[in-house]
Amino acid sequence: GTTLGSAAARTGRYFGTAVSAGKLSDSVYTGILSREFTMITPENEMKIDATEPNQNQFSYGNADRIVNQAASQGARMRGHTLAWHGQQPGWMQSMEGAALRQAMLNHITQVATHYRGKIYAWDVVNEAFADGGSGARRDSNLQRTGNDWIEAAFRAARAADPDAKLCYNDYNTDDWNQAKTQAVYRMVQDFKSRGVPIDCVGFQSHFNSNSPVPSNYQTTLQNFTGLGVDVQLTELDIEGSGTAQANNFRTVTQACVAVSRCTGMTVWGIRDTDSWRASGTPLLFDGNGAKKAAYTAVLDAL
Ligand code: XIL
């Protein structure tokens, strides 16, 4: 029968989900996973605190379990994430300056080398820009190592895994008229003009009543591709229920399909009960694993 993955593949796209290693023993979960999805992002298992819990001691067990699941079902992997202010291990949180810069680059080199050839796209840097109207970088220990930390991260990732697509990933970059969106756009434009290796921009796309799907979402995706990068919807979830939620999922899916370099989309979990959101029903399957109206809307729009 038709699935999200096979429907997306008709136009050369993938359809992915975030996966938690701890749920791979749940047969309802893995049943939907292997049936519907052609791309997998580890929800937490490739983050810095998971892969380097102590400095220079790397821990790949849970991430490798997810990579093995992907291989067993013929799905590809998005790697998430090599450099981020969030979910840093304690040792990194307390570092600064040149030592932190070196630790970040070593982390990127080690992890990207471990997974070399197995990752379709890496979120090399996650969430490096501030919210609000400033268009500034987010303050973080990584940012305080120098404004060039992002390009240094991308160069290290390219050297370690030359065939992986290298993405910048963020949220609240969906509305073309927002300062944060414009600031990321200018960074990508600058990287392209100076030959800094970047191949894609990920739009997390966590939508809710405070952060609704903007009317110019497709324009934003299209404009970024004008810089010569692919775009991807990397962590899609939309609060709500019923027809209203389904309509929002349809709009978002249609936007990706209308943009030739929107190469695929990933939802941030399988069932509503798998969502990182403390409450609400933001995904495509209900807690029993049944397809919601939002599922049908996405399938029809692919
Ligand atoms: C979230 C996970 O879903 C949670 O399990 C974890 O507790 C916190 O992180 N932006 C990102 C993701 O880039 O890594 C976040 O994932 C959600 C927001």
Which atom of ligand 1 lies nearest, measured to the CA of 234? 13
Active-site entry in 43, 45, 52, 127? 127
- Which of 294, 289, 300, 285 has its CA nearest to residue 240? 294
| Strand pairing report for 206-207 and 200-203 | unpaired
How do 165-170 and 121-126 pair as beta strands?
parallel
pLDDT at residue number 278 = 86
d(CA 90, CA 262): 36
For ligand 1, say whether the CB of 170 is within 6 Å of any of its atoms. no
Rounded CA-CA distance 112/116 in Å is 6
Q: What are phi and psi of 84, to 5 degrees?
A: -160, 150
Euclidean distance between CA atoms 232 and 226, whole angstroms? 14
80 bridge partner residues = 123
Residue 45 falls in the annotated catalytic set: no
Q: Would residue 203 be called left, alpha or beta, if left means φ above 0 and alpha means ψ between -120 and 50 degrees?
A: beta
Specify the residue for token string 């197995």. Answer: 118
pLDDT for res 5: 98
Q: Is 43 in the pocket of ligand 1 (CB under 6 A)?
A: yes
CA 78 to ligand 1 centroid distance, Å: 14
pLDDT at site 289: 98
**Is the predicted ipTM greater than 0.95, yes or no?**
yes
Opening angle at CA 43, ends 264 and 174, nearest 5: 45
Catalytic (active site) residue 36: no
Q: How many CB atoms are closer than 10 A to CB 128? A: 22
Cβ atoms within 10 Å of 113's Cβ, excluding its own:
11
Query: In this predicted structure, what is the pLDDT of residue 1?
Result: 63
Ligand 1 binding pocket mutation candidate from 82, 233, 235 (most atoms within 8 A of CB) = 235
Residue 40 region by backbone torsions, left for phi larger than 0, else alpha for psi between -120 and 50, else beta: beta
Instruction: Say yes or no: CB of residue 276 within 6 Å of ligand 1.
Output: yes
Low-confidence ranges of the chain (pLDDT < 50): none
Q: Which helix (H) or strand (E) holds 225?
A: helix 217-225
Residue ranges of E strands in 26-107: 39-42, 76-84
